A and B are shown apart, each in its own frame.
Chain A
Amino acid sequence: MTAYAFYLTTIIVYGAVDAMACLALNVEFGFAGISNFGFIIFQSVGAYVAAVLSMPKASTSNGGFQQYILGWHLPWPFPWIGAALAGGLLALPFVFLVGKRLRGDFAAVGLLVSAVLLNVLVKDYVPLFNGDAGISIVPAPFQSHWNPQGLIYQFAYGGVAVVLTILVYFLLRRVTESPYGRSLRAMRDNDIVADSLGKNLRRQRTSMLVLGGMVAGLSGAILVGFISLWAPGAWGYAETIVLFAAIIVGGAGNHKGAILGAILVPLAFEEVTRYIPPASNPALIPALQWVAIGLLIILFLWFRPHGILPERRRILSGAPKTALIEAPPDADALIQLGNIDELDFQQLLRLDEPAIDHRVILSTEGLSKEFHGVPVVSEVSIEVRQGRLTGLIGPNGAGKSTTLAMLAGTLPSSGGRIFYQGRDITKVPSHQRATAGLVRTFQLASEFKKLTVLENLVSAIPRQSGDSFVGALRGRRHWGREDKENIARAMEILGGFGLEQYADAYAGGLSGGQRRLVEIMRALLAEPTVLLLDEPMAGVHPNLAHKIGDQLTRLCAGGMTILMVEHELAIMDAFCDPVIVLAEGRVLAEGTMAELRAKPEVVEAYLVG
């Protein structure tokens, strides 16, 4: 009987440790979109640090048969706290890998390689953590007062592990189910767009790596206190893949899914294979175990890519939980704007300067861009005046979108300077430009697919008190009321554009025209001073395009400044003044459309180009 009881306590502790690790990895991967292929090193550093903090000096213990650093002989809970801190600190060197410019899979490979490297180093450098043999006889907490081999102790240990896992669950949920969590998921779905809306990608990713690292470190401490040994063999890089398999099976982006995955994959796998009789080939069972993990990943990603418990759809509108709404196939033809003329943009978008003085608000001097030595934009100097709807036209490949991307900071410029409100912003990162009021839209679909339409809109609103790590930790009481107001604002503008019935639909399920509208609304809710629109009317029905154009004119009359790249000359004719013509990366002419039509070089560029 007691044998089963001891077995049960082992299962409980392992289950809690695995669940904690999966919760942490899920926050990084499922919510923030960081593919941390080196996750296991964060758990491992926690185990090592907890071990050496709780053990006596290496020279005095057990005749000095093992070597390790520290040996501070600290009482519980200090080794566990130290483990969590070490897990968090280990995240800091990876800050450079998860910055904006590095592709997600490149960063993932960097983390994977770091995990392999650390394993090799710890194995070969014995003075650190006793090398390949690993550290053993790690004291259990309170072992001088209480027999760690006793059943009551073991159940108490399991109980503490489970309670801590539950606390971690609530902590992580508090972070992810906040406006900050919304920003994390936005970054996961499309990082470049999130960046252009003012989200600091590097900071968000670092925060999540640190948070995940701390939880992972704690899980390692709990494990090493129970099994009393830790060696490089226990944390090969492939262990991370097991945890990824768990999250893929359970459901990425769902905390309960992570826990379920932890129970189904690492725990059940270890336990079930224990009962398979040993084969003549001793490597057979472990080898087949790895094959099964590999197959599990491939088959789940194919047949059930969102896992057993998929990510929840968040219903923000307060409407009853409805079935998934998707746009009908002919949705584009059916788009009808709502009461858009009644929207009070001034109040809704916090437009603060109705006084229009047409001063130069955004300008460039000799702005240039090369790709692989080929000039795409050369020496472009333009001025955008406040309160005007400036058009930017030109044939395909003229460099319009590239210019716009450089203005917003999405692309770095190769030469020249950009001034915004009298300040040189050439080197300012794009998220800072966005928070300063310089906001862009994208030519290609750029919605956050797995966010609802309403979440897409609300995520863009600047200065939310719940949209920071600390703000999220302070809880709903801190940001709840403000979030309600923001949702109401977003609903109002959604009604104006006639899309309120799609409020809780996934943005990825909308039609092309609807997604363009969502993107325009989202950019407006970012409260721009200068709005940079990249072909906002592409794929929009001409009637609708004219109605949107009217609203853009109204926004400019309200004090907003707009620079719009557009193909459609009719739109330019009707709404833009002045219009800048680009051809082959250079400014060809500038003026009203009527003036431009009189210039033969402009006509020629268009006809020839």
Chain B
Amino acid sequence: MSSFGFGLITAAVLAIATVGFTMQFAVTNVLNLAYGSIMINSAFVAYYLNARGVTAWATLPFGIATGAVASYALNRFVFTPFQRRNLAPITVVIVALGVDLCGTFGLQAIVGGGYVSFHQSPGKEYHILGMFLSGLQLIIIGICVVVLGVIHWLLKYTRLGKAMRATSANPSLARNSGVRTQRVISTTWIISGALCGLAGTVFAMNTGVFEATSAQLYIVLLLAAMFLGGPGEPYGAMFGALTIGVATEVSAAYISPQYKEVIAFLVLLGMLTFRPYGLFGSEKTI
């Protein structure tokens, strides 16, 4: 049961991250493989403020802002110009890999290779339903629930959410129906970037010690969660993140902690092979 608790924390962080990742894919049709590097950069901005004496939780907005600004800039100044050039779609993915290298190792060049951690107490331990959760972990779960609720409200009940869904389903049709798609796309990248920054910061807080390359393999969990729920589907991403988060921690407890991520890999490969449009999705029109 305690592994289930760990799973919930992993899932909470992963859910925030995956929803952002899948929203970017939905509106721009790009697998943003540089996502992990923006997560860790956001975490380091928050960490540096924390090391200068700011309370850990108070640094969250700065992590969020870093993610939002960096993601917006990445889309506006890198991805969009490349997409306008009408190159093969894989080009943008390769560019994203290049950005990931620059982001991750540029950070490492600045901060060095050592491990750091937030000055933050994990808080009192709570015993809930057979799970032991620290105050920190409870707050992370709380943040996740609130964030997912806000995203749900945004997608379901606002004009912006409707415009996002329209843009994702058919950009040219949305444009012809009067949706200002360019603006919708930019807004989506700011919101998803904020989620990326938030996810990166809480990921670092939850991990305890971290360094510049700590999020490098996080992209695998993200991809697994996204493909499980269907690429570009925010609700699918929530479901996928919960499943993957719990599955990795439970398998770590019952099989071997060394192979913790293996289950995510296998899920991802299985989904790509048999159901690349997600468990509930169907093939898009050619």
Contact = CB atoms under 8 A, between A and B. Distances in A.
Interface residues of A, number: 52
Given A106-B276, A290-B104, A297 B97 contact: yes
A107 B88 CA distance: 15
Contacts of A102: 272, 276
Contact of A287 (B99, B108, B262, B272): B108
Contact of B93 (A35, A110, A291): A35
A114 B90 contact: no
Contacts of B105: 286-291, 294
A124 B261 CA distance: 12
Interface stretch (A298-306, A485-493, A555-563): A298-306
B-side interface size class: 35 or more
B99 A298 contact: yes
A173 B16 CA distance: 49
B286 interface: yes
B109 A117 contact: no
A301 B91 contact: yes
A168 B269 CA distance: 32
Interface stretch (A204-212, A276-284, A468-476, A578-586): A276-284
Interface string B65-96: 00000000000001001100101111101110
Nearest to A450: B88
Interface in B242-257: none
Contacts of A302: 81-82
B269 A113 contact: yes
A298 B223 contact: no
B220 A113 contact: yes
Given A105-B93, A283-B108, A294-B98, A116 B265 contact: yes
A192 interface: yes
A213 to B, nearest CB: 18
Nearest to B217: A116
Nearest to A288: B109
B112 A281 contact: yes
A39 interface: no
B135 interface: no
B268 A294 contact: no
B31 interface: yes
A237 to B, nearest CB: 9
Given A281-B112, A294-B100, A301-B94, A103 B276 contact: yes
A291 B37 CA distance: 12
Interface string B105-149: 110110011000000000000000000000000000000000000
Nearest to A376: B285
Residue with the highest number of chain A CB atoms closer than 10 Å, among B94, B217, B268: B94
Contacts of A296: 98
| Closest A-B pairs by Cβ, 8 of them | A294-B101, A283-B113, A297-B98, A290-B105, A294-B102, A287-B109, A294-B98, A117-B265
30 contacts: A33-B88, A35-B94, A97-B272, A101-B283, A104-B90, A109-B31, A109-B223, A109-B272, A113-B220, A113-B223, A120-B261, A121-B259, A241-B98, A244-B97, A248-B94, A281-B112, A281-B113, A283-B109, A287-B113, A290-B102, A290-B104, A290-B105, A291-B105, A293-B98, A294-B97, A294-B101, A297-B95, A301-B87, A305-B85, A371-B284
Interface of A: 33, 35, 37, 96-97, 101-110, 113-114, 116-117, 120-121, 124, 192, 238, 241, 244-245, 248, 281-284, 286-291, 293-298, 301-302, 305, 371-372, 405, 410-411
